């Protein structure tokens, strides 16, 4: 089974497709694209608007697949909203300016409920120290 297929079955992001999958330096990157002829929705009011530009590429941390750090790579569209003016599109996998996906937040919350507080803090501090 392909990684694209697994990702599409795990997450149903309407209006987006996986363009490519890269595995580099023990990280899995899924490059996403907006579907052709799909309008983005305004992050302020949620109304669909036309795209006139793209923001620089951003990486969003996703739920690890097989213990491999996984990232969604996407270049958000700028939307010409009638009510709010020019804004960045609303992304279904995250809220606000966060770099961590909503699914990964739920995954971490579920894991945290299973662990004791002391063990959780040890693991988080170990992960943070490993990233530095």
Give residue 10's domain range: 3-131
Structure confidence at residue 53 (pLDDT): 85
Structure confidence at residue 1 (pLDDT): 57
Structure confidence at residue 128 (pLDDT): 57
- Element holding 110 (H helix, E strand): helix 102-114
76: Cβ contacts below 8 Å, ≥ 6 apart: 54, 55, 58, 88, 89, 91
Q: Which has the closest alpha carbon to 91: 103, 106, 107, 108?
A: 103
What SS3 class is residue 81? strand
Structure confidence at residue 61 (pLDDT): 93
Number of domains comprising the chain? 1
Structure confidence at residue 74 (pLDDT): 92
Low-confidence ranges of the chain (pLDDT < 70): 1, 117-121, 123-132
CA distance 58 to 37: 22
Structure confidence at residue 123 (pLDDT): 64
CA distance 33 to 31: 7
């Amino acid at each position: 089974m392909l990684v694209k297929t697994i990702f599409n079955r795990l997450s149903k992001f309407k209006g987006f497709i996986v363009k490519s999958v890269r595995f580099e330096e023990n990280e899995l990157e899924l490059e996403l694209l907006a579907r052709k002829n799909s309008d983005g929705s305004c992050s302020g009011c949620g109304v669909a608007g036309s795209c006139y530009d793209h923001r620089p590429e951003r990486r969003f941390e996703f739920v690890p697949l097989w213990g491999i750090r996984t990232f969604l790579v996407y270049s958000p569209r700028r939307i010409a909203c009638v009510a709010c003016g020019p804004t960045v599109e609303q992304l279904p996998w995250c809220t606000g300016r966060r770099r961590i996906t909503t699914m990964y937040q739920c995954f971490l919350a579920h894991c945290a409920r299973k662990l004791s507080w002391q063990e959780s803090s040890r693991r988080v501090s170990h992960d943070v120290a490993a990233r530095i």
